[in-house]
Structure 1
Amino acid sequence: MSKPTYVQEYQAIVEVLNKYSEGCKQAKSSIMKPAFSEQATVFGVDAKGKLKGGSIQGLFHAIDNPPFRPSPEAQGVIVSIDIVGIAASARIDTNDVSGFSFTDFFHLLKVDGKWTVVSKIYHTHVAP
């Protein structure tokens, strides 16, 4: 009988997602970069309803510059992780990242034995 691997895969994905969350909290893309493929994309919709995004480098630039700032008070939770073989999707809800709240959806692939984010889409919640 083979050993079940779902728990290990789940934990490995949590580690990847935690790099993203910690990078947001510290406003340092260098912390989150290892979570992403160099070819990853990020997309969202701006306040005017227009699609914005593209290369993950845009996220890294945004995280490292104002209005983003270290946010030790930020709180996030992994809402879900769904794994099928070498593909996975995940959702994180985060409050108080530089005064913003987000819902992020990630797609991950296991490449060369390592989970990596290949795409992220997000929703920015209206401030209260």
Structure 2
Amino acid sequence: MDQRYQEVVASLETYFDGLYHSDTKRLGQVFHPQAIYACATEGTLTYHSMATYFPVVDARPAPASRNEKRADRIVSITFAGPVTAVAIVNCAIGPKYFTDILTFVKLDGRWQIMSKVFHFDLVPAAA
């Protein structure tokens, strides 16, 4: 299998673990410092730089602390060149089920997320 693919998968595992544990040290290993975070699911733009996104993650209870079931899934990884990729992934935090579109660049020998654009659906609580 293509080494680039395995490297992006390893970055995605760090990403999923960082979200599940609300661990910005892990997320900092995979997000480029100048990355953007954006969503328009609720009809307005939610936008963060990493400087404003990481404090949000730090302030929320970790899904791991609530023993939430993980829903991490790689839907696809597509390469646009030797150092550019797009990954579509799913995960869940609380009642929100996310579809993330992550753009990656390979800089300084590692794959880094440059943008996270996502949609979420609310999943009703089990009765």
- Bin for the TM-score computed over the shorter chain: 0.7 to 0.9
With over 3 angstroms needed to count, the CA separation of the structure-2 counterparts of 1:59 and 1:98, relative to structure 1, is farther
After TM superposition, list the pairs within 5 Å mapping 1:80-95 onto structure 2.
80-83=76-79, 84-95=81-92
CA drift at 1:30: 1.5
2:113 corresponds to 1:117: yes
Which residue of the other structure, out of 15, 20, 23, is the alignment partner of 1:28? 23
Deviations, residues 45-100 of structure 1 (Å, cap 9, x unaligned)? 252x011113023332222113x4233422210100001221100011113x2332
Aligned partners of 2:88 and 2:102 also within 8 Å: yes
Aligned with 1:53 (options 47, 54, 58): 47
Cα contact 1:93–1:103 (8 A) shared by 2: yes
Question: What TM-score comes out, normalization by structure 2 length?
Answer: 0.85
TM-score by length of 1: 0.84
Report percent identity of matched pairs: 28
Which residue in 2 is equivalent to 1:17? Answer: 12
Residues of 2 paired with 1:98 and 1:31: CA distance?
Answer: 20
Q: 1:74 aligns to what SS in structure 2? A: coil
Paired residue type of 1:11: Q
Distance 2:37 2:73 in 1: 20
Count of equivalent residues: 120
* 4+ long deviations beyond 4 Å: none
What is the distance in 1 between the residues matched to 2:53 and 2:12?
Answer: 15
